């Protein structure tokens, strides 16, 4: 078992319970895990192995695995390990952006509709840790990342969802084609009796209809779709030509979130939920933490936490959700991203860009022009202080960094929590 994070530890527990002889491996020095000494991530540690399981954070193409595969030893991910043991039917939700919100929303709708389900995957509980609580009659609602999907063979989703696919994680997958192919595995492993829920407005996602044996249904934020799909007509979400709800009744904001609601509605209807209950549940759903999350209003300035916007596309969606007057915080650990795509939206809506972290100079080079001030703040605390001193009533301070968090934080959750603490301290006069 390679990678002793949350998923790796849960996988070790499962393997021990199933009678396997387990060797724990990690690239960082570790104490024992569940009574097993953790070995270094070197070739010798893989001698004699009959199966290698990797955590989502471990790249599947490490040179270290070449001699392992040459011996005919399978190298699989934690999701694939869970597949034979996970009872019930699977709902797999992927996409570059929106998958956490859509996963949480889908589980919320199912629970409110009295349909048995449990939620996990890339959100909270690893799939291997969901086995014990899985039941034949329930649905497993799974947020699935490209890291989890790239090694699946036998895992299959009865309902598979892809919200969008844009450039991301090129530091891990190396090419956009590899990233797309990892996402496509969710659909390629489906069966003929399954359902693929796809975004008609996303060219890459739409192509997945040709890569799955399952039936495809569509959603669109721009035009009506044929068949049993969903679309936005004015302010009203339509499902199969029937009005579901007015988006102004939602607590979620932004067109991308309306697409998330459409996808969740199509999934929920397939599980047996009634449209009236879907509408009621969607209207009560609160935004997921760190996803366009309203933090506070201080001196007439609104502060929003979108720390989960770790890609350029996610930041574009965040910008689109606001009318203008933005003081936007960008920066962190670069993921080989093209920040020039932000130029026009920022020119239209931003008062200034507050740059932080290791990627600040690259972002500055990509955005440099005479239209939007680019202010180097160094740290998140510096950016919040600068925004507090400069923003005027009616304007918005938005953390939507377009970068990973690992240069200054453990993860995007910690970055978001720190942002909220900094903002709320302003409101309490601690500045």
Residue 172 is predicted with a pLDDT of 67
80-284 to CATH, choices 3.40.50.300, 3.40.1190.10, 3.40.50.11810, 3.30.2010.10: 3.40.1190.10
Q: Which CATH class is domain 293-427?
A: alpha beta
Percentage of the chain exceeding pLDDT 70:
97
Q: How confident is the model at residue 111 (pLDDT cuts 50, 70, 90)?
A: very high
DSSP 335: -
Q: Please tell me the distance from the alpha carbon of residue 68 to that of residue 203, in angstroms, as a whole number.
A: 37
Closest among 100, 191, 97, 198 to 142, alpha carbons compared? 100
DSSP 19: T
DSSP secondary structure string for all residues of 331-391: ESB--S--GGGGHHHHHHHEEEEEEESTTHHHHHHHH-SSSS-EEEEESHHHHHHHHHHH-
Instruction: Specify the 3-state DSSP secondary structure of 426.
Output: helix
Q: Where are the alpha helices (DSSP H) in 49-98?
A: 66-70, 78-82
Q: How confident is the model at residue 125 (pLDDT cuts 50, 70, 90)?
A: very high
Q: Please tell me the distance from the alpha carbon of residue 188 to that of residue 153, in angstroms, as a whole number.
A: 9
- Could you read off the pLDDT of 369-389 as tens digits, one per residue? 768 999 999 999 999 999 999
Q: How many CB atoms lie within 10 A of CB 320?
A: 12
Residue 256 is predicted with a pLDDT of 87
Residue 5 is predicted with a pLDDT of 87
* Vertex 342: Cα angle to 341 and 348 (nearest 5): 125
Q: Please tell me the distance from the alpha carbon of residue 246 to that of residue 306, in angstroms, as a whole number.
A: 24
Average pLDDT over every residue of 92-110: 94
Confirm if 139 and 173 have CB atoms less than 8 A apart.
Answer: no
Percentage of the chain exceeding pLDDT 90:
84
Q: What is the dihedral of CA 249, 250, 251, 253, to 10 degrees?
A: -120
Instruction: Specify the 3-state DSSP secondary structure of 162.
Output: strand
Residue spans of the domains in the chain: they are 6-73, 80-284, 293-427
Q: How far is CA 56 from CA 1, 150, 342, in A?
A: 11, 9, 29
| Structure token pair of residue 215 | 């039936």
Q: Please tell me the distance from the alpha carbon of residue 140 to that of residue 87, in angstroms, as a whole number.
A: 8
pLDDT at 309 over 50: yes
Q: Please tell me the distance from the alpha carbon of residue 350 to that of residue 327, in angstroms, as a whole number.
A: 6
- Could you read off the pLDDT of 18-53 as tens digits, one per residue? 999 999 999 887 778 899 999 999 999 999 999 999
């Amino acid at each position: 078992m390679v990678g002793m994070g949350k998923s790796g530890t849960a996988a070790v527990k499962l393997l021990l319970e199933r009678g396997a002889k387990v060797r724990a491996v990690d690239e960082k020095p570790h104490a024992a895990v569940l009574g097993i000494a953790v070995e270094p991530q070197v070739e010798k540690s893989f001698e004699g192995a009959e199966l290698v399981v990797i955590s989502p954070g471990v790249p599947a193409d490490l040179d270290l695995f070449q001699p392992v595969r040459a011996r005919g030893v399978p190298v699989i991910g934690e999701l694939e390990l869970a597949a034979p043991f996970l009872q019930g039917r699977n709902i797999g939700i992927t996409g570059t952006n929106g998958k956490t919100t859509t996963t949480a929303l889908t589980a919320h709708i199912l629970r409110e509709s009295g349909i048995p389900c449990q939620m996990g995957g890339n959100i909270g509980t690893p799939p291997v840790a969901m086995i014990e609580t899985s039941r034949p009659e329930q649905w497993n609602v799974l947020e699935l990342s490209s890291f989890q999907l790239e090694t699946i063979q036998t895992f299959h989703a009865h309902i598979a969802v892809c919200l969008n696919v844009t450039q991301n994680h090129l530091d891990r997958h190396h090419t956009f084609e590899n990233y797309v192919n990892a996402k496509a595995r969710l659909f390629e492993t489906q069966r003929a009796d399954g359902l693929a829920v796809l975004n008609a407005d996303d060219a890459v996602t739409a192509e997945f209809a040709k890569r799955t044996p399952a039936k495809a249904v569509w959603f669109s934020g721009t035009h009506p779709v044929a068949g049993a799909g969903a679309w936005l007509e004015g302010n009203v979400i339509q499902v199969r030509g029937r009005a579901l709800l007015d988006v102004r009744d939602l607590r979620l904001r932004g067109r991308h979130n309306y697409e998330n609601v459409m996808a969740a509605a199509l999934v929920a209807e397939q599980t047996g939920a009634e449209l009236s209950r879907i509408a009621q549940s969607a209207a009560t759903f609160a935004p997921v933490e760190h996803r366009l999350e309203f933090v506070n209003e201080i001196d007439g300035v609104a502060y929003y936490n979108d720390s989960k916007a770790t890609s350029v596309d996610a930041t574009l969606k965040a910008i689109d959700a606001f009318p203008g007057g933005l003081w936007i915080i960008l920066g962190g650990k670069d993921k080989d991203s093209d920040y020039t795509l932000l130029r026009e939206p920022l020119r239209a809506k931003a008062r200034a860009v507050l740059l932080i972290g290791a990627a600040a100079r690259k972002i500055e080079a990509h955005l440099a022009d005479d239209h939007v001030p680019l202010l180097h703040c160094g740290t998140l605390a510096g950016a919040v202080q600068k925004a507090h001193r400069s923003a005027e009533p009616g304007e918005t301070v938005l953390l939507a960094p377009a970068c990973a968090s690992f240069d200054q934080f453990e993860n995007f959750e910690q970055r978001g929590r720190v942002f909220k603490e900094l903002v709320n301290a302003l409101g309490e006069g601690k500045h």
